[in-house]
Amino acid sequence: MHIFFNLHTHKDGEHPDGIAVLDCPLGNDLPSSYYSVSLHPWMLLPEKLDQAVDFISHNHLDKNFIAIGECGLDKLCETSFDLQTVAFRQMIELSEQYEKPLIIHCVKAFDELISMKKEYLPIQPWVIHGFRGNPIQAKQLIQQGFCLSFGPKHNIETIKNVPLWAVFTETDDSDCPIDEVYRLVASELNISVEDLAGIIRNNAIKYLKLAI
């Protein structure tokens, strides 16, 4: 049986036959499954940033804590972009220090995101979650070494042109189950669900260091 890997979800225990990375809000009990933690730009406040840094520093050895995110840059939210930039820089530095990949939320700030990746030259993978951009935008990101995670809503032409080494799938906060996302993406790529599952499994092993 193939394994459905969900890179980013806000719902615990979504699929009994899958592996999910749960977005874990600060202050919640630590889940028994894989999780990521950071601050969404919408929820970012200076005092919460300090809490997030403390949480990551104190829990980085937890074997289920496998990624920092979602974090990033969003020009459409009310949070000061300067504060977003300060926070994202801290998450980049923690990602490198604790050897955890970044799961990134980015809206209307891809030029800044690419510029920061060129500046930091990170060793840890950077994965843009819920990517809906066009093929040109995707190509620019792929050239800089980003991975892209696709949910139920995405640009079909983009996913047809993304190299398979860079592909992940997710549900985010949607009600669409991860196996349906797999079927949708596999159909658009003209490959079997089994083949897609093998590709994403290999990507999870390579970039997220998962033993699955």
Residue for token digits 């190299």? 163
Percent of the chain with pLDDT over 70: 96
Calculate mean pLDDT across residues 103-121: 98
From the list 199, 193, 123, the residue with the least C-alpha distance to 163 is 199
Calculate mean pLDDT across residues 104-116: 98
Percent of the chain with pLDDT over 90: 88
What's the rounded Cα separation, in Å, for the pair 101 and 103? 7
Q: Structural domains in the chain?
A: 4-208 (3.20.20.140)
CB 143 within 8 A of CB 164: no
Residues 117-143 pLDDT 10s = 999 999 999 999 999 999 999 999 999
> Does the pTM of the predicted model rise above 0.85?
yes
Is a pLDDT exceeding 70 seen at residue 165? yes
DSSP assigned state of 166: G
